[in-house]
Every structure is written in C-alpha cells, then in structure tokens.
Amino acid sequence: MNDKGEICAVESVIITSKLDCRPSRGPDFEAENRALAVLAQTVGTNPGGLLQQLVEEVMALTRCDSAGISILEPGSEHGVFRWVATTGAWSPYRNGTMLREESPCGEAIARETILLMKHPERVFPALLQAEPGIGEVLLAPFQIDGVAGGTVWAIKHGPDDQFDREDARVLQSLIHFASAAHKSEGRYRALFEAVSHGIAINRLVRDKQGSVVDAQYLELNPAYEEQTGLNRAAATGRLASEIFPLFYRLWLETAERVVATGQSERLEEFVADTGRWFTFNIAPFNGRDLFAVLYEDITDRKRAEVALQESEETLAADLANTELLRELAERLVTEENIGAIYNEILSAAMIIAQGDAGTVQTLDPEAKSLTLLTTRNFPRTINDRFTAVDASSRTACGIVLKTGQRAFVDFADEPDDTGCALLVDAGFQTALAVPLTSRSGKQLGMLNIHWHTAGHRSTERELRFLDLIARQAADLIEQRQAQSVLRESEERFRLIVDTARDYAIFATDREGRIITWPTGAQTVFGWTEAEALGQPSAMAFTPEDRANRVPEEERTKAAASGFAPDVRWHQRKDGRRILIEGSMRSLINERGVMTGFLKIGQDVTERHATERALAESESRFRQFANGTANVLWIRDAATLRMEFASPAFETTYGRACHDMGGTSSLRCWGRMIVREDRKGVFQNIRRVRAGERVDQEFRIRRATDGALRWIHDTGFPLLDGDGGIRAVAGVAADVTETRELADRQDVLVAELQHRTRNLIAVVRSISDKTLRGAASLDDFKVRFRCRLEALARVQGLLSRTTSVEKVSFDDLLRSELAALGADGQGAKVTLDGPDGVPLRSSMVQTLALALHELATNADKYGALSTANPDGRLAVRWHVDPAGDDSPRLHVEWQENGVKMLQAGALPRGGGYGRELIERALPYQLHAQTTYELCDDGVRCTIALPISGQGGAVEYDL
C-alpha cells in the first residue's frame, strides 16, 4: 500500500539484491556452533521446545527485534499460516494465524528462496494489525516431509536498521533444524539426518567400580562421516578408544564432566588420529550416561589462521626492513664520511639478505674495473685478491659488470676461475651481486652478498628490499659525488663573493630558486644558507611586489637582455624592509645556454637614515656616559677646555665640571691633584696632545670631604677625518679601594713568607728529633716520611682556610685516621664530639703532628693494629667555654683491648710522639696534657685554648 492507500506490486518491497551491496560483518562460527549445540541438546531433552529454541537462537545470531516460525496448515482456499513459535517484540502473537495470500511467508515458499523485504505491509496490509511495524523482514522457507511447508522469519522494526549477508547465511544454516523438526520423533530423525554438522550420540562405559573407562558410539548422522572421514556404519557401536586411540582420553574426560554437571562444554583440538582440527560441542543427552557430540571440521579455518600468521610475520619482517631502510636513509643523509656511507649500506644489505659476508665496490669508468671500498667478514687474502675486479672475472660482480643485471653465482660451477676457487677455499659457496646504477643508467658500483651455503637464493621479498637499498645507495652516492663537484664550484665562488660582505651576491636557477647564498647575502637578508638554498628568490621581495609578479618580470627581462636593474625595497627574514640597489644578470654556460641568474645588491637603507642613526648614536653615548661609574672626559686639543665630562666626574672629584669656570677649568682641576703628582700629570697630558696613549695613576684631594683618593686615568687623542688631533679624551676611575686591596695582598704575601719559614723550622725540628729516635736509616726514612705526610695533610687543610673558614678539629682528626685507613673500621673506632670546632692556623701543625703520632702508634701497636683484633679506639672531645682566658678544647684519646708489654720490656717506638704531647704541646699551645700506658691501652688527654694568644715561640720544636 503506497501513500495513496493503493496496494503495491510485491516486487516493489523485495530488496534481496541489496544484501550483496551492503557491508557485512564477519562470520562468528563459535557463536553459531554454540547455538547448534543448544539445539542439539534441546532435541534430546525437550523435543517439543525445539522450534521455540530455534527462533530464540535466530534472534540472538541475527540481532533482530522479532523472530518466528510460520507453519502452513490447511484452511480457507490456499491455506493458513500459524505462528507456532515467536520471540522478541512479536512474542504476543504466538499461535496467531494469517491467510497465505495475506502473508509474505507465502512468497518465500512459492519462490523457494530466501527473501529480504522492506515495509511488506505496503503489499500485505494485514501486517498492519501487528505492532510494532516492520522495517525489514528476512524470510527463509523450509520443508516438512519433503514439502515446503513453513518459513523462518526475522524482523528489524527500526526504520534505519538493516540485515546483511551474514544474517542471511546464519538463517539458512539454522533452517535445516527448522525443516527437520515439527513436534515428533520423526521430525527429530529428519533433523538428525539433515543437519550439516556431525552428530554422535554416545554412552559412557564404566568398569565394575563405576569409573568411566571409555565411550560407545550409539548413533551417528551422515554429516559425521563427511566431517571426520570415518565410515558411519563401521563406527556405530564401537568404542571411542578404538576410533580415536590417540585423542579419546581428553575427549572422554570432558564427556564425563558434562554428564556429571549437566553443563555443555566446547573443545577445539587437533585430532592426530585424523590429522585434522575439530570443534567438539559436548552436551548431556536424554538418559543416564548419554551425551551428544556436535562435530565441525575447522581444519581449513586453522590453515587460514596459520597462513594469516605467516602473512603477518612476513608483513612484520617487511615493516622491519622498511624501518631499516628509513633509518639508513636518515643516517646517510647526515653522514659526511663517504667510507661510513658504504659501511652503512653494506650493513643494511647483509641484515636483509642474512648474508655471511659482503663488499661494496665503486666503478672506475676509465679503467672499467671495480675497486673495493669496504668489506665485511672476509679474510685478508680475499680482500687483497678483490681490490680490483674487471669484467673477465666469473665472480658475481664480474658478471654483473658485464651484463649490468643482478646475478647469483655458485662458485663450485666455476672451477677454472681463480677468484671463485679462492672464495671456495675461504668457505664461501654462493654470491649475489647487485649493480649500483644511477637513474640515468650510469653504473656507479656494486653491492655483493656472500653465503657459506651452496645454492643459496634470496627470496623475492629480500631481493625487492636489496633493490631498494641499491637504488637508495646509488642515489646517495651520485648525490654525494654531485655535491662534491658543487662544493668545489661553490668554494671558488665564495672566494670571490666573501670579500664583498656588504653586498648580497647570490645565484639562482632558471626558475629563480636560490642555488648559492654567500655570507654577504646572509648578512643583508638574514636567512642562513640552510634556510635559503632551494627557496625562491622572491622570498626577499615585499608582499606587494610578489603579488604584482615583479620577481618574474625581473627574470624575464634579464633573460631577454642579459640585465635587469633591481633598485627597490626588499624584505628581510625578520620582516624589516631594506632598500636594495643592485641588478640581475643572466648566467650563460660555455654552450651558450642560460643556466640561471646572478643577483648583486647593496643595502643602502642606512644611507637614508644617517642623520637619525647619528642622533641615536649620540643618545646611546650619553646614556652610556650617564650610566657608567667611570669619568669620561673630552678636552679641546688646542685650549684644553673641557668639552664633555660625564656625571661621574662630580662623584669622583667632589665638584661638578661646570663649576670650575670655563678655560680655567684645567687649573682648577689641577689644584685638586696632590702637589707631588701634579707635575707628572700635566706632562702626561702634553704627551696625549702629541698623539700618545697614556695610562697614569695620581692622587687627589676630593673637594667635598678632602679625602685622599687614587685616580687611574687613560688618556688618548681623538683624530679628525684628516688624521689630525682634534681633541684629547680619557677614562678615569677611582681606584682607591683597588690600591688598598693590593696593599693587603702584600701583607698576605709577607704572612705567607713567614708561614713558609715556620714550616721549614717545623720540618727541621721533625728531622732532628726523628733522627735521634731512629734505630737505623731505614727506620728514619719510614718515620720521617709518615710525619712529612701528616704535615702535608695539615698544609692541605690550611690551604683551604680563609679569614672566615678555619680548620676544624674533627676535619683534622678524620684526616689523620683516613690516612691510616681507620675511617672505615666501623665499630673499632668511635668519634664523639661536636663538628666544626675551629682551630687557629698557628696551632694546626703541632696538634696535627700529635694526633698523627697517636694514630700511628695505635695502628702499629695499639687498638687499630691487626695484632689486637679486640682493640677499640674512642676519641671524644668537647669545648669548655668557661676557661680562664678563652674557650678550651678538651680531647680524650682512649684505647682498649690492647695487649700491652710486660713490665720491664723495652718500649715500642722512639718516644717522639710522647715527647711531642707532654712537652711541645704545653710549651707552644699552652696545653695541659696527660699520657698514660694503661693495662689494656693508651689513654691521652689534651686541653688547649682555641682562641687568643698561643705560645711564645711558634713551630719551634
């Protein structure tokens, strides 16, 4: 029925052909197999509910909104359709009826084919009684007892919802169930016999204890034979172990579990007995220990998956090789070393071809021979033999040199060729040579890959990538050769134009693209060479000139007459406009062919802005003069009248320059100079007037406070355009603080000399006392060296001290222990005291020597000695701020766990350390000390002032 209420022809609503035009989803065999397994289980357990289960599976698989089965029954003139099963939105219409001529199901039965209709109510208005309305309906006829007697249908109610080819296929796959099942065992038999999937009804076989040991095939459908390739009659009644001896145990375990749980399971396995892949949908059947198995041969799908995996692996390899080529291209573009280029090419080729060795050769066109450039994995004998190869060689590269075509060679086939025989002796059997040819056909060289395997041939995919490498390599080599020639030409050109840095001189090709961009052009226009090369020269013109095609007109005129003036405003990279005065000339080669253009131009913008630039320059000078702390001054050379003095003059001299009164300013200024320095100052001014540059220092009395200040003044002449001295000028600075700093430096030098003398006295004293206590010269050498090292460490600490930073006691102590390796002894050493206790420089050396002697004795004989594994050393210190004159540092050195000498034994060591502690420290540093040899170790205490005066004599040991 159309919009006017007229009934339309049935062809107007049939759109089955559109299924072939619409996009279709891929098949979901796993879901389809699950549906068939459910139907098979329903056949065994509830045959009467099979048709209802069928329409529910149709709805699920086609994702429709309503589904049903219409059975044609007798009645009326042509029969009546009864909706024996429905689901979805039309579920309420189950068991409803419709005359055959009023239903689209009749068309599907009459045509005996699947049909797709859109808005069938336009032809079959009786459908308007059902709600919701139909958008599209998919109908498939089926047979009952060999006669077309019903239809399975699926409906999408949405106006924009559509079916696709997969929906039609699924519906046809399920139609076999609908055609074979209709409320009777006979229909179940038809279903069993007609279904395209293999079905087996089996029974578990148990032993006397009730354990499952096998399964027996009770009934098999014809499709079982097609799916498995096994004879159905021969298999019926046999045990699974007899039919599938390699596979039946896994299959049997699953069947036992299905029977026990009542839950269907699915397997997808390779059956070695048949050499094929199957899916097994195993479901419980009607009866104890009975179960049904739905078979489907999926070997073709598995093979397709393997093929897909191989294809994906091949694609991955291709992608990897493509990435290798891309990386190679990036490296070759940036690599300047031609030898490195050949190595990169050879490396990439060997990776792709999986070669064992390889070479790259270049062609000498005059000698018509190949010269070895780089080699990989060849012995020296091979490299020496193939330094040069000509076309007479029967090796791969020799053949390709003659033919120009890629070639494989098996060396064993060329026993008479010395080169081939040499390669065989080296273990190589096969080679491939790929020519490196320019796009113009010029042969540039050769790429060679060798293999140890005889008869090796690369795959087409490998050869394709090797050809790409050869193409890329040839292009790059040719490009580098051309670049070398171009660089030589550019160098000659630069020698000419680089001397003209104020001019923009550059060349373009015939189309106006820049091919040279010297320093002068970079300076005038602002673009770097890398930015300008290859760009149109029009980029330097103003936007309006580019819009008016001025660059093209200029080239046309220069090409016609050989010359075109170019005097106009241009635009720099930074957008600033500059006035260029220049021209364009055509470039003609020796054959009379115009190859491009030469542009010469000078930036004359500054000529038009000289006055403003001069004013800006003067302004900048005044800003500089006003901002600097130095005095800038200029005097007339003839009269010495002050023409200019910066504001710093008043700060430095305590009087403004203009207060000195015109021509008398020189005399006024001179009166501020100390009398003793005045004569020399005026003599130096006369030298400057004579043309000399003079540096001088003198003293003044500052006018404001009468302070004595040192002035450093640099005077120099100012010349006019003819070279005459127009004025004298200078820069003066108050250097009083600098002079004072120099004086302080002199004091520091004197102090350093004093400290050096003291150090020498210390060394002398150490030498004398060590010599007196030494048993031999070797003993003296060891002791003296240790004490000098201790003294050196002290000097290292003193060298880092400043007026603010002092050597601290803990740094001194840790330095001595670290020198003996005792800083890493963990629990053997305990240091307890505040960090950063400062020591006077004058006391550091003597105290360090005392600590050194204590630490050395502990290392040799005491708590740190290996002879005393239970030895422990504890050093504790604190500061007592309440001393008589100044704060005092109290140090306690306690050793424990030491094996001491028996009474009457000779003492160890020379006694120097004890003498230093008990005599030198009290005398030099006003220290109070004790030194005791206890039962298990040495105990020493030192208390000394850490500020104020020290001893009467410094470093006098």
Answer yes or no: is pLDDT of 953 > 70: no
Higher-pLDDT residue of 515 and 30 is 515
Answer yes or no: is pLDDT of 557 > 90: yes
| Claim to verify: residue 462 and residue 539 sit in the same structural domain | no
Q: Give domain status of residue 558, yes or no.
A: yes
Residue 857's pLDDT is 86
| Claim to verify: residue 257 and residue 329 sit in the same structural domain | no
Alpha carbons within 13 angstroms on the beta-carbon side of residue 858 total 31
In 89-146, DSSP assigns E strands to 97-99, 115-118, 136-144
Residue 336's pLDDT is 61
Q: Give domain status of residue 953, yes or no.
A: no
Residue 119's pLDDT is 93
pLDDT (mean) for 86-97: 92
User: pLDDT category, 133, cuts 50, 70, 90?
Assistant: very high
Question: Which of 150-159, 252-261, 345-354, 751-760 has the weakest average pLDDT?
Answer: 751-760
In 708-823, DSSP assigns E strands to 708-719, 725-734
Question: Which of 149-158, 194-203, 424-433, 836-845 has the weakest average pLDDT?
Answer: 194-203
Answer yes or no: is pLDDT of 94 > 50: yes
Report yes or no: 546 and 528 within 8 Å, Cβ to Cβ.
no
Q: Report whether the peptide linkage leading into residue 23 is cis, meaning its omega lies within 30 degrees of zero.
A: no
Question: Which of 125-139, 534-548, 853-867 has the weakest average pLDDT?
Answer: 853-867
Report yes or no: 701 and 710 within 8 Å, Cβ to Cβ.
no
Report yes or no: 660 and 669 within 8 Å, Cβ to Cβ.
yes
Q: Give domain status of residue 359, yes or no.
A: yes
Answer yes or no: is pLDDT of 379 > 50: yes
| Claim to verify: residue 173 and residue 118 sit in the same structural domain | yes
- Classify burial at 419, counting beta carbons within 10 Å of its beta carbon; exposed 0-12, middle 13-18, buried 19 or more: buried
Given 603, 638, 657, the domain boundary residue is: 603
Residue 952's pLDDT is 33
Residue 185's pLDDT is 46
CATH number at residue 526: 3.30.450.20
Residue 773's pLDDT is 67
Given 172, 194, 216, the domain boundary residue is: 194
How far, in Å, CA of 284 to CA of 288, rounded? 9
| Average pLDDT value over all residues in the chain | 80
Report yes or no: 948 and 909 within 8 Å, Cβ to Cβ.
no
- Structure letter (DSSP) for residue 663: G
Residue 754's pLDDT is 53
Q: Give domain status of residue 62, yes or no.
A: yes
Q: Give domain status of residue 372, yes or no.
A: yes
| Claim to verify: residue 293 and residue 317 sit in the same structural domain | no
Cβ-Cβ contacts under 8 Å for 680 (sequence gap 6 or more): 696, 698
Q: Give domain status of residue 307, yes or no.
A: no
Q: What is the pLDDT of residues 584-598, one digit of tens each?
A: 999 988 788 898 999
Q: Give domain status of residue 374, yes or no.
A: yes
Answer yes or no: is pLDDT of 174 > 60: yes
Question: Which of 38-52, 666-680, 695-709, 863-877 has the weakest average pLDDT?
Answer: 38-52
Alpha carbons within 13 angstroms on the beta-carbon side of residue 403 total 14
Give residue 720's domain range.
Answer: 611-734
User: pLDDT category, 472, cuts 50, 70, 90?
Assistant: confident
Residue 650's pLDDT is 85
- Structure letter (DSSP) for residue 917: I
Answer yes or no: is pLDDT of 897 > 50: yes
Residue 11's pLDDT is 92
| Claim to verify: residue 334 and residue 411 sit in the same structural domain | yes
Answer yes or no: is pLDDT of 50 > 70: yes
| Claim to verify: residue 786 and residue 915 sit in the same structural domain | yes
Residue 528's pLDDT is 92
pLDDT (mean) for 321-333: 61
Q: Give domain status of residue 952, yes or no.
A: no
How far, in Å, CA of 341 to CA of 329, rounded? 10
3-state secondary structure 28-60: CHHHHHHHHHHHHHHHHHCHHHHHHHHHHHHHH
Answer yes or no: is pLDDT of 282 > 60: yes
- Candidate ranges 318-332, 350-364, 702-716, 835-849; pick with highest mean pLDDT: 702-716
Cβ-Cβ contacts under 8 Å for 617 (sequence gap 6 or more): none
User: pLDDT category, 884, cuts 50, 70, 90?
Assistant: low
| Claim to verify: residue 49 and residue 171 sit in the same structural domain | yes
Higher-pLDDT residue of 251 and 867 is 867
| Claim to verify: residue 338 and residue 405 sit in the same structural domain | yes
| Claim to verify: residue 14 and residue 105 sit in the same structural domain | yes
| Claim to verify: residue 108 and residue 132 sit in the same structural domain | yes
Answer yes or no: is pLDDT of 602 > 50: yes
User: pLDDT category, 466, cuts 50, 70, 90?
Assistant: confident
pLDDT (mean) for 546-570: 92
Given 163, 194, 225, the domain boundary residue is: 194
How far, in Å, CA of 934 to CA of 941, rounded? 13
Distances (CA, A) of 171 to 54, 73, 478: 10, 22, 65
Question: Which of 15-29, 149-163, 217-231 has the weakest average pLDDT?
Answer: 217-231
Report yes or no: 868 and 898 within 8 Å, Cβ to Cβ.
yes
* Ramachandran angles phi, psi of 159, nearest 5°: -65, -25
User: pLDDT category, 759, cuts 50, 70, 90?
Assistant: low
How far, in Å, CA of 320 to CA of 313, rounded? 10
- Structure letter (DSSP) for residue 119: S
| Claim to verify: residue 753 and residue 702 sit in the same structural domain | no
User: Which residues are bridge partners to 932 per DSSP?
Assistant: 939
CATH number at residue 128: 3.30.450.40
Question: Which of 99-103, 194-198, 354-358 has the weakest average pLDDT?
Answer: 194-198
Answer yes or no: is pLDDT of 795 > 90: no
How far, in Å, CA of 105 to CA of 120, rounded? 11
How far, in Å, CA of 404 to CA of 615, rounded? 74
State both tokens at 191: 């279903």
For the chain, the domain total comes to 6
pLDDT (mean) for 7-32: 87
| Claim to verify: residue 564 and residue 632 sit in the same structural domain | no
Helices 841-860, 736-773: crossing angle, 10 deg rounding: 30
Residue 696's pLDDT is 92
Answer yes or no: is pLDDT of 625 > 80: no
Q: Against a cut of 0.75, is the pTM above it? A: no
Amino acid at 792: A
Q: Kind of pairing, strands 872-880 and 829-832?
A: parallel
How far, in Å, CA of 21 to CA of 36, rounded? 29
Of 222, 176, 230, nearest to 50 (Cα)?
A: 176
Answer yes or no: is pLDDT of 190 > 90: no
Residues of the chain above pLDDT 90, percent: 25
Question: Which of 19-23, 489-493, 662-666, 868-872 has the weakest average pLDDT?
Answer: 662-666
User: pLDDT category, 769, cuts 50, 70, 90?
Assistant: low
- Candidate ranges 171-175, 283-287, 670-674, 803-807; pick with highest mean pLDDT: 670-674
How far, in Å, CA of 843 to CA of 919, rounded? 15
CATH number at residue 785: 3.30.565.10
How far, in Å, CA of 462 to CA of 945, rounded? 88
State both tokens at 910: 């020379």
